[in-house]
Amino acid sequence: MGSLLALSFLCAILLSAFLTRIVRDVAQSRGWIRKSLSDRHLEGTSKPRLGGVAILLAVIALMSVALTIALDRQLATRQAILQMLPVMAAAAISFGIGLLDDFLEVSAWIKLAAEIIAGTVLWFGRIRVLNLTSLFHSHQFGATASLILTVTWIVLISNAFNLIDGLDGLAAGSALFSVLTVFVVSLANHNVLQSVVTAILAGAILGFLRYNFNPATIFLGDCGSLFIGTLVAATTLTGTTQQKSSTLVAVAIPLIACGLPVVETTVSIVRRFLSGKPIFSADRQHIHHKLLDLGWSQRSVVIALYGVSAVFGVLSLALLAPGQGTIAIVLLVVGIGTIVGVQKLRYQEFFEVSRVARRALEQREVIVNNLAVRRSLERLSKADDWDEIVQSLHDGFEGNDFDGFEFVLEAQDSQVMISYDRWFRSAYSRGESDQSSSWSINLPLISRDSGFRGSLQFHRFDNRALLLDINVLTGELQSELQRACARAMQNSIHAGATVAQAKAKAVSVAAG
């Protein structure tokens, strides 16, 4: 078996390199070059995007020979070899829709429909997700759930490799590490078919990379990325089907082995959802774009992401060691690494999620501050003189989230002040704090009927988050305060006081 695998791998390298050069030259001579319509592609647009054709031809030719030899040597049964027919059929469907997209513009929904058909072909060919054994119990899926999970798996992995196809050699190189990982797993599980298929696919990708690494002369194209993704996803299911179960480890190994494209796909879907953009829209916010924006060269980005793919591969191989502790450690490392990596790339969508999460943790204090203002509103609704108004403001804001406030009210037809109240925390009133980042909120108070104008101004002297709903101030407090001031003004007039005779009032209170 070892000689068969080694020979298959070497022949795949040579045949793929030979076919890639032929496909490139023919495409260039006949003008089979479609300008990229997607912003995610950074490579030049004067090169063919048909690398998948060479990989497909090399894989089909060598698989036919290698599987025939495996059958003759009794390394695999005829039934097991026939199991590869739906695998290749599904991969061919993905290749076909990708090839069409490389020549013509095909909508994302049409490509998704083709991938669903590919997954359905696998399911009817009895290449399925049948059973999931978790850390706690085993669950047998029914036909409908099995079909949905199988199709989802194919769609996820196919699109994962398609999404990272934006730099010279990136998608092909990442796929190479994933395929090599699955190859090692197939050897450990003594799965002949997986070993043969992944050895040939790895060799075909490596031969293609000879012309695809920066500076590339031919690109993988959608036909190549979708073909590789579908073939990898389908091949991993052949092993679980033979064992009549798909354990947590059996699912986790290929998922983590394809970690880079899977993370890229997941991040892209989440950030587009958060920013209100269509899920299938193209943009320049992928991982490799963010690294380029940080000043990295294309080659540096590709090599660094090769390293990330290799790390994912090693982590997935660690799952071959039995034990729930190993699974927990690997998943923890992957989770922490992904979170840190996304933070370093400075996605604004995830900063906003982090802000909302922090706000949720601080929600109790927000409620406390809101309730203090609402109790002040209750007192204001009954206030009809200046003393009650001023005391209501102190009750509501001395223990709240502002550092001070100023309340000023005067008659519209006179400069004589009716009321003035000022409060600051002791540190700010004595000038002991740095006020370079100070800001304020001003609520205007105007009433033509009652003849006054003024404002209530709140102050903050640092840039910490405001733990108070601003709508409570700009809506309810502003309206209630204006009504209270109108009542106080009318009561003053009814008591025989004129505006010109109103006593100026200044109150200054400091709270520690």
Q: Yes or no: say if 267 and 347 are a contact pair by the CB < 8 Å rule.
A: yes
Checking DSSP bridges between strand 506-511 and strand 131-133, what pairing results, if any? Answer: unpaired
Whether 121 has a pLDDT exceeding 80, the answer reads: yes
Q: What's the rounded mean pLDDT across residues 311-317?
A: 90
Whether 13 has a pLDDT exceeding 90, the answer reads: yes
Q: Yes or no: say if 209 and 173 are a contact pair by the CB < 8 Å rule.
A: yes
Check residues 36 and 392 and name the one with the higher pLDDT.
Answer: 392
Of 18-32, 289-303, 456-470, least confident by mean pLDDT is 456-470
* Tokens (6 digits) for 195: 């070993």
Could you tell me which of 346, 388, 361, 402 has the C-alpha nearest to residue 484? 388
Listed in sequence order, the residues at least 6 apart from 491 whose beta carbon sits closer than 8 Å to its beta carbon are 384, 385
Of 54-58, 132-136, 210-214, 352-356, least confident by mean pLDDT is 132-136
Whether 244 has a pLDDT exceeding 70, the answer reads: no
Checking DSSP bridges between strand 246-247 and strand 404-411, what pairing results, if any? Answer: unpaired
Could you tell me which of 4, 13, 22 has the C-alpha nearest to residue 204? 13
Residue 145: its pLDDT value, please?
86
Residue 137: its pLDDT value, please?
52
Residue 239: its pLDDT value, please?
59
Residue 36: its pLDDT value, please?
55
3-state secondary structure of 442: strand
Q: What's the rounded mean pLDDT across residues 124-130?
A: 83
Checking DSSP bridges between strand 138-140 and strand 131-133, what pairing results, if any? Answer: antiparallel
Whether 41 has a pLDDT exceeding 70, the answer reads: no
Backbone angles phi, psi at 393, to 5 degrees: -65, -40
Residue 2: its pLDDT value, please?
82
Whether 232 has a pLDDT exceeding 60, the answer reads: yes
pLDDT (tens digit per residue) in 424-472: 876 565 455 555 678 888 999 888 777 788 899 988 887 777 888 888 8
* Tokens (6 digits) for 291: 């690294």
Residue 428: its pLDDT value, please?
60
Whether 200 has a pLDDT exceeding 90, the answer reads: yes
CA–CA dist 324, 328 (Å, integer): 6
Check residues 368 and 55 and name the one with the higher pLDDT.
Answer: 55
Could you tell me which of 375, 448, 438, 354 has the C-alpha nearest to residue 403? 438
- Number of CB atoms found within 10 A of residue 22's CB: 13
Whether 6 has a pLDDT exceeding 90, the answer reads: yes
Q: What's the rounded mean pLDDT across residues 364-386?
A: 89
Residue 53: its pLDDT value, please?
95
Could you tell me which of 87, 60, 62 has the C-alpha nearest to residue 231? 87
- Could you tell me the pLDDT band of residue 40, with boundaries at 50, 70 and 90? low
Q: What does DSSP assign to residue 452?
A: E
R_g of the chain, CA atoms, integer Å:
34
Residue 498: its pLDDT value, please?
44
CA–CA dist 84, 68 (Å, integer): 12
Whether 164 has a pLDDT exceeding 90, the answer reads: no
CATH architecture of 364-511: 2-Layer Sandwich (3.30)
Whether 377 has a pLDDT exceeding 50, the answer reads: yes
Whether 389 has a pLDDT exceeding 50, the answer reads: yes
Please state the pTM of the whole predicted model: 0.73
Q: What is the mean pLDDT of the chain?
A: 82
Whether 242 has a pLDDT exceeding 50, the answer reads: no
Residue 512: its pLDDT value, please?
36
Full 3-state SS string of 25-44: HHHHHHCCCCCCCCCCCCCC
Residue 173: its pLDDT value, please?
92
Q: Yes or no: say if 252 and 259 are a contact pair by the CB < 8 Å rule.
A: no
Residue 501: its pLDDT value, please?
42
CA–CA dist 152, 115 (Å, integer): 9
pLDDT over 90 percentage in the chain: 29
Q: Where are the beta strands (DSSP E) in 157-300?
A: 246-247
Q: Mean pLDDT highest for which of 196-205, 285-294, 387-396?
A: 196-205
Q: Mean pLDDT highest for which of 194-208, 238-252, 340-354, 481-495?
A: 194-208
CA–CA dist 27, 43 (Å, integer): 17
Residue 35: its pLDDT value, please?
61
Instruction: Judge if the upstream peptide bond of residue 215 is cis by omega within 30 degrees of 0.
Output: yes
CA–CA dist 172, 41 (Å, integer): 14
- Parse the chain into domains and list their residue ranges: 36-49+87-182+217-356, 364-511
* Tokens (6 digits) for 179: 């395929």
